[in-house]
Amino acid sequence: MNSTEIFGFSASILIGVSLGLIGGGGSILTLPVLVYLLHISPVTSTAYSLFVVGTTSLVGSTSFMRKSLVNYRAAVVFAIPSFTTVFLTRKYLVPAIPDPIISFSGVEVSKNVGIMVFFALIMLAASYSMIKSKKEESANETGELKFNYLMIALEGGVVGILTGIVGAGGGFLIIPALVLFARLPMKMAVGTSLLIIAAKSLIGFVGDLSNMEVDWKFLISFTALSVVGIFLGSYLSKFVPGEKLKKSFGWFVLVMGIYIISKEIFFK
């Protein structure tokens, strides 16, 4: 194992730490680590990312369940359309994407490049969500829960499609949706988000099994380190201000998104 691979496996711990600290961001790290450090193709990496993030989020959600910080009604309303779209996307849409995606006047955009650039755009959106102040979050810490079922379900379907294409859990979209449309307190939104991410990511991964061969030894080893990270992140969350950490992570994600776009388009 060379130094880059060692660094890649070490980075898997940071995936879990991110999920444990801020309830999201794990998938933002997973795909670049798998593609750039461990040299796995983007299409395969999106599938592996679903398994890693799904399993790690499932482990992380159990502590929120024990503290009664998971709203199962909101999870079901969000998850049903999300489950459906992520499974269909991984099973049918991703394999149907042509390679190259675009070929015009001697210019080609391969499927791998298209996926990475699309993922980078998702990263830029995630960074904005993490960096900006969310005054509405504190306003929802108390008060009666009020569900906007239609908006929760619609966003669930959209997040499922995004998850299916790029292997991202979508916590940066799920948490605001639960706060705004389900009126959940922030801590409960994080716990509910982890459960939703876990379920839809693992279901999306199941949609891949008939389309690819899985290196289970590698995948389980990588995931195990990520699970260690989520325990570490949960412990550190007791000492690190969550909002300050989220903004710092948002700036990191912004830089990574710009780097990926630059690498894939200008320095390929």
36-92 pLDDT, tens digit per residue, is 889 999 889 888 988 998 898 899 889 889 989 899 988 988 888 988 888 888 888
Q: Which distant-in-sequence residues (6+ apart) come within 8 Å of 173 by Cβ? A: 129, 155, 158, 159, 162
pLDDT in tens, 95-123: 888 888 887 777 788 888 888 888 888 87
Residue 136 has pLDDT above 50, yes or no: no
Contact 107, 121 (CB under 8 A): no
Output the pTM of the full model: 0.75
Residue carrying the six token digits 């379900």: 153
Please confirm whether the linkage preceding 81 is cis (ω < 30° from 0): no
CA-CA-CA-CA dihedral for 117, 153, 246, 124, to nearest 10: 20
β pairing state of 102-104 and 107-109 = antiparallel
pLDDT of residue 139: 42
Whether the bond into 32 is cis, omega within 30 of 0: no
Token duo for residue 186 = 């922030």
- Residue pair 179/137 in contact (Cβ under 8 Å)? The answer is yes
Tell me how far apart the alpha carbons of residues 121 and 25 are, in angstroms, rounded to a whole number: 14
Average pLDDT, the chain: 82
